[in-house]
Structure 1
């Protein structure tokens, strides 16, 4: 490592692994020396990680933060503790040269390399919903749980009541029809009875009329 140049972390680049989430971490390059330093970051899995910036310069007395983002993963690695991914951080004095192809040409003697191995850590488990000291307490069902537990029998009772109401409705309609028919028959019977009585009176009146005529003839 060049004098006055420090790369953090030194050996391992850690990611807190989670499914379907982008996971960031950082590499820090601190230049406490007297000359400007150029850097370049490489990885063995370029499609899996995004490095911003992957090249640049660090002036004397300054610190460069490099963000490394792991793309969202859909599956857990086969061996979460044995990741094979690696990063390589190369540094070299810039000496006023801005051509990275020349600065990091293969075989150049003043290039310093720092290798970082990727390690994964699992996210912390969620806190227990039961407070400490309450593990032995037996909590009864909540009102919502009780409602859910009785939902089945209640629905059966409602079905029975609905069937009974339908049966009563049908019986009521049948009784109503019977009552209407009885009223109609009664009205017809009453009308017939009235007709018979009136006819009878007319016959009686006619007989009395005839008797009256006979009596008048006799008197004459």
Structure 2
């Protein structure tokens, strides 16, 4: 049986397409009765073939409900298939077109992590709704109790001799009124019913709204400043007007004094003549 395993797999256990022929060869070479021990043996062989990846991804393609001038979302569930801590990183050929949150993380043994990929609002439809964008998921084993902020810069660098597992993900655009055939378990990336996910999905919209609020507050502050400057100008003009009135009043009083003095002199001269 061991020889058959080596012959069928050529020393490798990474090709799942060999599993049916492998099991057939085993049954033909060494027939046996199906009892629980034999079934366990078959399960072990199957697990050996399958468990060749550090992580699994669901769904395997990024599917977006494409609408003009609207954001679209797709959630990826990354599952750690090992008893080790695994770090992952997501890259794309169009970084200005997509937001990936988080794009890097560490998954505990047998745990999973959900990342959200956001397709930014587009102004035109792609030709025949075909997308050539690609995503690359990299994963590697890291020491336990390492936080994502503590990962070395060369964590996903193959030149250092580190084993990096890579998986390419395609991007699929569909119209909002259609239902893709390859969606499983009712998965609809553009219409998430989870409240926590909806809040996460609206983070970009909230940022845009906050930016508009900041601009509005800045405009209000500018308006208040202009109003204060206008009040200062009015006050200055009022003071200048009061100053001009005081000068005219002083001149009038002086003129009255001169006339009064002239009259007194005239009366005094008249009295002395008599």
Cα distance in structure 1, aligned partners of 2:58 and 2:66: 20
Higher Cα Rg: structure 1 or 2?
A: 1
Task: Give SS of 2:127's match.
Answer: coil
Distance 1:32 1:39, change over 3 A: same
Task: Figure out how many residues of one structure are paired with residues of the other and give that number.
Answer: 123
Residue 230 of structure 2 is matched in structure 1 by: none
- 1:8 pairs, out of 41, 45, 58, with 58
The 1-side partners of 2:125 and 2:111 are apart by: 38
Q: Which has the higher contact order (CA 8 A, sep 6+)?
A: 1
Structure 2 gaps of 5+ residues are 1-50, 179-274
Q: Which segments of 5 or more consecutive residues in structure 1 lack a partner in the other structure?
A: 126-220
Structure 1: distance between partners of 2:81 and 2:141: 13
Distance 1:5 1:100 in 2: 20
Cα deviation 1:153-210 (Å, max 9, x = unaligned)? xxxxxxxxxxxxxxxxxxxxxxxxxxxxxxxxxxxxxxxxxxxxxxxxxxxxxxxxxx
8 Å contact from structure 1 (residues 2, 112) kept in 2? no
* Equivalent-residue separation in structure 2 for 1:25 and 1:47 (angstroms): 16
Q: Compare the two structures and name the one with the higher strand fraction.
A: 1
Aligned residue number for residue 121 of structure 1: 174
Residue among 163, 173, 176 paired with 1:110: 163
Partner of 2:113: 64
Structure 1 residues 34-53: aligned runs within 5 Å: 34-53=83-102
What root-mean-square deviation, in Å, do the aligned CA atoms of Structure 1 and Structure 2 show?
1.9
Per-residue CA distance 1:89-116 (angstroms, 9 max, x = gap): 0000012463242211133441000100
Normalised by the length of structure 2, the TM-score is 0.42
CA distance in 1, matches of 2:89, 2:153: 11
Alpha-carbon distance in 2 for matches of 1:7, 1:67: 13
1:28 has 2:86 as partner: no
Match of 2:135 in 1: 87
Question: Counterparts of 1:66 and 1:25 in 2: how far apart (Å)?
Answer: 8
Q: Aligned partners of 2:53, 2:92: CA distance in 1, in Å?
A: 25
